[in-house]
Amino acid sequence: MKPYRFIISGGGTGGHIYPAIAIANELKLRYPDAKFLFVGAKDKMEMEKVPQAGFEIKGLWISGIQRKLTLKNLSFPFKLISSLWKANSIINKFKPNAVIGTGGFASGPTLMMANRKGVPTLVQEQNSYPGITNKLLSKKAGKICVAYDNLERFFPSEKIVKTGNPVRQDLLSIHTKTEEGKTFFKLDKKKKTVLILGGSLGARRVNQLIESQLEFFKNQEVQLIWQCGKLYVDEYKKHDDLENVQVHQFLNRMDLAYAAADVIISRAGASSVSELCIVSKPTIFIPSPNVAEDHQTKNAKSVADKHGAILLKESELDTFSIVFETLMKDKGKQENLSENINELALPNATSNIVNEIEKLIK
């Protein structure tokens, strides 16, 4: 029998790329001689991250529609036609057994053409509120793997399977790595550690908040592992000289950062939320309001509604010090948050998604 061939399309942000790579790695484990091809958007981070993970990628000339009337919007129809044409040609040449979409601009044209050609497709929706691309693709997709309940209002209910979002497998053992994490980050073992996460590029409002609270954190006698992101490292690196403050552009050992943390302050992108459910540490979510359909607020709310985290909107940041201090003083509250968020964890997501892909190709 000929080896299976898979096209995987997703990107734009780490939240779409890492699940795509995790799915590919699991498929490769089960089918070592399978062939893989990724399809991304030409100038986005997947063009760098996917080859680093050992897979080939082709880029489409595609971007999203801006909400304001801009020149970029005028070029959108041309980009779409060009991308559909190129996706069609990629599928004709590669002849995949299945095409998997994890969200992002490039997955639209790729799965659309696969559906048109009768190639089985699977959509992996990470958020509690889907974007327009996945809503359109769901009508023809064979299966839709989701991470949250109540998505029947967006997708055909008979196609939905709740699998969760793929997460880094090294997170499953972080509870045994606390000491290793504290040593790795050279932390004071007598002090509580706060981990601040703003995503790979960084989060402007979160960084501004942390900078404005440095004196407050010092008085609280906590130490910070502050991941400020690629866009902001030059601006905030100066605070790295302070005692009890470490500023990082990026954290290569996320597992050890999570292991060392006592409390986490984070954006609420889908993959971050899924990871934090497994990590199960007391968490304050500060969702970005500047994303499509405000999906980060909806992701954070779905956890906060089950008493698994604290949701603090950007418009409420003036109450941060009260919220933080109250949490640090209340051991019972910390334990409740940890227990409740852990109940939402779906650690076998990658394996469950690949089970669904297997059903499609067999």
Distance CA 34, CA 147 (A): 27
**According to the annotation, is 12 in a ligand binding site?**
no
Strands (E), 10-133: 35-41, 57-60, 98-101, 121-125
Q: Nearest 5°: phi and psi at 151?
A: -95, 10
* Sequence letter at residue 39: V
Distance CA 247, CA 226 (A): 5
Angle at the Cα of 258 (from 338 to 204), degrees rounded to 5? 100
Residue 197's closest CA among 262, 286, 280, 129? Answer: 286
**According to the annotation, is 127 in a ligand binding site?**
yes
**According to the annotation, is 220 in a ligand binding site?**
no
CA pseudo-torsion sign 154, 156, 157, 161: negative
**According to the annotation, is 11 in a ligand binding site?**
no
CA pseudo-torsion sign 147, 351, 286, 138: negative
**According to the annotation, is 296 in a ligand binding site?**
yes
Lookup result for tokens 């440095």: 214
- From the annotation, which residues make up the binding site? 13-15, 127, 168, 200, 296
- From the annotation, which residues make up the binding site for UDP-N-acetyl-alpha-D-glucosamine? 13-15, 127, 168, 200, 296
